[in-house]
Amino acid sequence: MSYGVSAALQAAVYQRLAGDGVLSPLVGGAIYDAAPPGAVAGTYVSLGPEDARDASDQVGRGAFHEFVVSVVTDAAGFQTAKTVAAAVSDALTGAALPLSRGRLVGLWFLRARARRVEEADVRRIDLTFRARVED
């Protein structure tokens, strides 16, 4: 197994989201590599947790990375969150991201979980993607 491509994958995902002409205006450019501290007003996108597992074979080293991209908003209802989540999904699903190390074989949407965060009166959608990389 190789975890060596992880940082390159994260950087490429961030660049793709930050440079997306549909997504960025929806959140006013509020796309973070890490969630900002404290309460944040409005709507933002944040890269989240990642799990990786071996996908090496006889030809070379590789891994599957499952990572979460979160949409968080204080807008009433889920409409805003779902519109932004759709833009995230459209930007990433099937994207051919250039990596500074290794190669992206494929990128797929796996699932989403929408929920209300009661104590903060915000809506949150966690989108999970799977990437197959080779090192």
Per-residue pLDDT, 19: 96
- pLDDT tens digits for range 66-83: 999 999 999 989 999 999
76 DSSP assignment: S
Per-residue pLDDT, 52: 95
Q: Give the predicted TM-score (pTM) of the model.
A: 0.92
Range with lowest mean pLDDT among 40-44, 69-73, 96-100 = 40-44
For 114, the token pair is: 């929408």
Write out the DSSP string of 70-100. EEEE-SSSSHHHHHHHHHHHHHHTT-----S
The pLDDT of residue 1 is above 70: no
In the chain, % of residues over pLDDT 90:
78
Domain annotation for the chain: domains and CATH numbers: 6-134 (3.30.2000.30)
